[in-house]
Amino acid sequence: MRRSLTPVGVLLVLALFTDSPCSARGSSHCRSTDSEDMRPHSVTISEFGAVGDGVTLNTKAFQNAIFYLNSFADKGGAKLFVPAGRWLTGSFDLISHLTLWLDKDAVILGSTTSKDWPVIDPLPSYGRGRELPGGRHQSLIYGRNLTDVVITGDNGTIDGQGDIWWRWFRTGNLNYTRPHLVELMNSTEVVISNVTFLNSPFWTIHPVYCSQVAVQNVTILAPLDSPNTDGIDPDCYISTGDDLIAIKSGWDEYGTAYARPSTNIIIHRVIGQTRTSAGITIGSEMSGGVSEVHAENLQFSNSSTGISIKTSPGRGGYVRDIYISDVTLVNVGIAIRFNGHYGEHPDEFYDPNALPTIERITVKDVRGENIKMAGLLEGIEGDNFLNICLSNITLNVTSASPWNCSYIQGYSASVDPEACEPLEEIISREHYSDCYHLTNHLLSSSHQKRSAWLLSQ
């Protein structure tokens, strides 16, 4: 299956980054990912009876090893070493103060039997499984209410063997929403680095209701036609069957009630492609609110859309104070797309009059070659998207009508082709404060070397 793979997108369903992003250098809250994590206690998975033949099911071995290592949580933590081999397993839970370390020739394989992926409750901010009502299958590697967790190694591999799940999805043979490869809930001080992720059944890396999460030096791979294999990975290469980076915060009335915003998010150095979706997307599930997102140094190619914001009447919530800069697009259908009528609701109980607030969105320093359309910016009648600011954007567009805009308001400067009429007013000193600019806090955080901070809901 490797032959058909291309680097896949990492799902960033981002949640609750209410704390400041921590630095890979000089912060006790996040561990450096440049060298092997130095835990005082270490065991190898084979010590617990695991067999790396790709056939023997090792779920119990992983569970027993982690149960044993829990006794060292208050003694500096522990490391579970996965050596070379193909280690087949069902879902297993991580613990606090743990490093899961993969050798360069180690492959953790997800079981192709659905019963090895238990069914758990839906996320409270979603109210149901994302694909089907009811629960959802637990991710291959799972944890909740954890502190100080590291998933790393010498570029070993975690392979979800998602092909069977994609077939079940396409033929309507699923009873519950498909599982992710990694999901951590209500956790903090998380580092995921130097690992390759393959063939996730659904979203790839999903930190939810977390803070102080760093993902870097990660490769995520899946076929370009694999359904919904979103990912979350800055400082990485991504290619996927859905959005490369997706920032979310809950679905309609459930997201509004749970009220866990995704905020204070920094993303840099992402390269990737996605045939049918976007390089970076906010929404469409954004009902808990999304704000203070800074994304820079992005390169997207051979994709349907470059930069996307999706929402709908019924969502409520807000997307505000977004800053996206230094973007290169090649062979992209629509460079910038805002969709105010994305639709799709969890049930019939949503309030169609709950209109989202979309405001203070800045996109600047964008270059594009072979772009079909510069922008398709569609707000909501009676609920204009406000203070959309575009600057220093140069796109080689093949369409005779490069922009199509409705129910938006904002400003532009140095945009070629010239921006649509609602954005024609120049960003002058008078309007400078209407546009979102980086705070000193985010600006200084964004320049810390080799750090990429994400958190997800």
| Region of residue 235 (phi > 0: left; psi between -120 and 50: alpha; otherwise: beta) | left
d(CA 69, CA 22): 27
CA-CA-CA-CA torsion for 273, 276, 282, 286, nearest 10 degrees? -150
User: Is there a contact between 205 and 192 (Cβ–Cβ < 8 Å)?
Assistant: yes
In this structure, what token pair is assigned to residue 3?
């032959």
Catalytic residue flag (residue 242): yes
Out of 148, 242, 252, 321, the active site residue is 242
d(CA 405, CA 372): 15
Give the number of C-alpha atoms closer than 13 A to the C-alpha of residue 374, restricted to the C-beta side.
21
Phi and psi at residue 256, to the nearest 5°: -65, -45
* Residue 449: CB atoms within 10 Å: 7
On the 0-12 / 13-18 / 19+ scale of CB atoms within 10 A, 444 is: exposed
DSSP three-state, residue 2 = helix
Residue with tokens 């320093």: 365
Active-site residues: which are they? Answer: 242
